[in-house]
Structure 1
Amino acid sequence: MKKIFLIIFLFVFSIGFAQKKKKAKATKAVAEKEVVIIYTLEEAMASSEPRIIAGFIKQNPGHEKNNDLKRKLVTIIMADNSIEAKPTIKPISKDKIEKIVSNNELNKGKDLASTAKAATPERTVTYASMGSSSKKSEPSEQAKKTASLLTHLFSNDPNNNEAYVNIKNLSKCRLIVKISGKKYYNLDVPAKGDNFVLIEKGDYVVTTSVCDAKYSSLKKINKDIEIQLNVAE
């Protein structure tokens, strides 16, 4: 009789524990914060990411440190150890950097690809192949993406129909963010990291799963924004 009572007690306890665990899991929510992207001088001086440096220059056109930041920006883009470009490229010379900065070309809304072409002679870009030989190759998708973002940041065109969306992942889980609307965009965001995308302005539904917590939000995106996501405490 005692054995039967013990079995029944354990069975009821296990059911109650499972339901409590399921309920706790179901109540997990996503903490969201939408902010206007503002870059500080400290971030721009310390960063090696072109978008942060360019963003500060764009937001602070008359800052005394802008010439130094423009030199840094051009060097990062053109240097052969650039984060955005992996091919072997001869770094731009100091004289040519000074010429670009003195002409203030970065603030005229010109495509950086055009700026780079004007500043340096035509060159052959090579990538290491699987074998011992090398081959010509187009810029990487990341390089094209960064170039498009920089062109967007430096453009003063009032009819620009694109907006820059940065997803900042504050959680410990990787995110796959879907942005659905006029067009569809998928963004892979590492844990404790961020990623960005240029989209057409309009109404979108942003969905993802943050450490098993479902997130869905309707966004009217008509300006550059940052969306910060985390698991609610």
Structure 2
Amino acid sequence: MKKLFLILFLSIFCLGFSQKKKKAKTKVVAEKETVIIYTETEAETSNEPRIIAGFLKQNPGHTRTDFFKKRLITIIMADNSPEAKPTIKPLSKNKIEKIVSNSDLNKGKTLVSNTSGSSERNVTYANVGNTSKKAEPSDKAKKTANMLSHIFNHDPSDKEAYINIKNKSNCRLIVKISGKKYYNIDVPAKGQNYILIEKGEYVLTTMVCDAKYSSLKKIHRDIEIQLDVAE
């Protein structure tokens, strides 16, 4: 009888240990890093100014350049609609057209500048109108203007690059980017978000659901990083 109880106890113990070991299996993050290449289909179907602007830069002699420029301006103007934001002065259409046509950049005007000794970005807009707080562009408008200025900047000495993070998991991500400067980027589940940073070496860290992610990146050009939990 004692032997029977002993065998039964050992069987239950081994079964419980085996199940516990399976539960404790560490999840792994699946990462995919690519250089961003925009297609004509993406530029035609996307409502993101970044994608359309990126396609225009990568395909300067495309036969549908005028069409995509008009589409880009239309989308940006819609984002800055005074009806949608009655307390915010939108960017003028003339200003947006100048950014898209690259005339401001070719003339050497500064649209984006960083204060020395600070990682906070300051953005100056010409011809926006009233300079009161209520007349300032929204954060989304500023981010879009920064991105357009960066994308249409053909200067090889450009000190900035952007990271687009595509989140394929079912969990929201808060990605910390640590290096010479520090950035945080919020990426929704099954969504994406981008951030413009100073070129350099950074450590990216986050939790993809219950899986830890940490990676050293040398950022010297625009890249896209796709994150998910490995099966």
What TM-score do you get using the length of structure 2 for normalisation? 0.77
| 2:19 aligned partner | 17
Structure 1 residues 104 and 43 mapped into 2: Cα distance closer, same or farther (>3 Å)? closer
- Correspondence for 2:209 among 192, 211, 230: 211
Counterpart of 1:224 in structure 2: which amino acid? D
| 1:188 aligned partner | 186
Structure 2 matches for 1:103-142, cutoff 5 A?
Answer: 105-106=101-102, 109=105, 111=111, 117=127, 122=129, 136-142=134-140
Higher alpha-carbon deviation: 189-198 or 140-149: 140-149
Deviations 1:54-82 (A, max 9, x none): 11111111111111111111122123x55
Q: What's the CA shift for 1:107?
A: 6.0
Structure 1 residues 92 and 156 mapped into 2: Cα distance closer, same or farther (>3 Å)? same
Identical counterparts, % of pairs: 56
| 2:67 aligned partner | 68
- Whether the 8 Å CA contact 2:80–2:90 is kept in 1: the answer is no
Q: Following the alignment from structure 2 to structure 1, what is the Cα–Cα distance between the partners of residues 23 and 11?
A: 18
Structure 2 unaligned blocks of 5 or more = 113-122
- Whether the 8 Å CA contact 1:108–1:154 is kept in 2: the answer is no
Structure 1 residues 183 and 90 mapped into 2: Cα distance closer, same or farther (>3 Å)? closer
Structure 1 residues 193 and 104 mapped into 2: Cα distance closer, same or farther (>3 Å)? closer
Counterpart of 2:184 in structure 1: which amino acid? N
Deviations 1:19-40 (A, max 9, x none): 2211x2x1x2111111110111
Aligned Cα RMSD in Å? 3.4
| 1:50 aligned partner | 49
Higher alpha-carbon deviation: 7-16 or 167-176: 7-16
Structure 1 residues 104 and 77 mapped into 2: Cα distance closer, same or farther (>3 Å)? closer
- Whether the 8 Å CA contact 1:75–1:92 is kept in 2: the answer is no
Q: What's the CA shift for 1:116?
A: 7.9
Q: What's the CA shift for 1:105?
A: 2.8
Higher alpha-carbon deviation: 177-186 or 1-10: 1-10
Which consecutive aligned stretches of 4+ in structure 1 deviate over 2 angstroms post-superposition?
1-16, 88-93, 103-117, 121-125, 135-140
| 1:29 aligned partner | 28
Q: Following the alignment from structure 2 to structure 1, what is the Cα–Cα distance between the partners of residues 219 and 43?
A: 25
Structure 1 residues 42 and 141 mapped into 2: Cα distance closer, same or farther (>3 Å)? same
Q: What's the CA shift for 1:162?
A: 0.4
Matched, 1:171 2:178: no
Q: What's the CA shift for 1:139?
A: 2.2
- Correspondence for 1:229 among 216, 221, 227: 227
Q: What's the CA shift for 1:4?
A: 5.6
| 1:130 aligned partner | none
Q: What's the CA shift for 1:138?
A: 2.6
Q: What's the CA shift for 1:115?
A: 8.8
- Whether the 8 Å CA contact 1:164–1:198 is kept in 2: the answer is yes
Aligned residues: 212
Q: What's the CA shift for 1:170?
A: 1.4
Higher alpha-carbon deviation: 50-59 or 67-76: 67-76
Structure 1 unaligned blocks of 5 or more = 126-134
Q: Following the alignment from structure 2 to structure 1, what is the Cα–Cα distance between the partners of residues 90 and 211?
A: 47
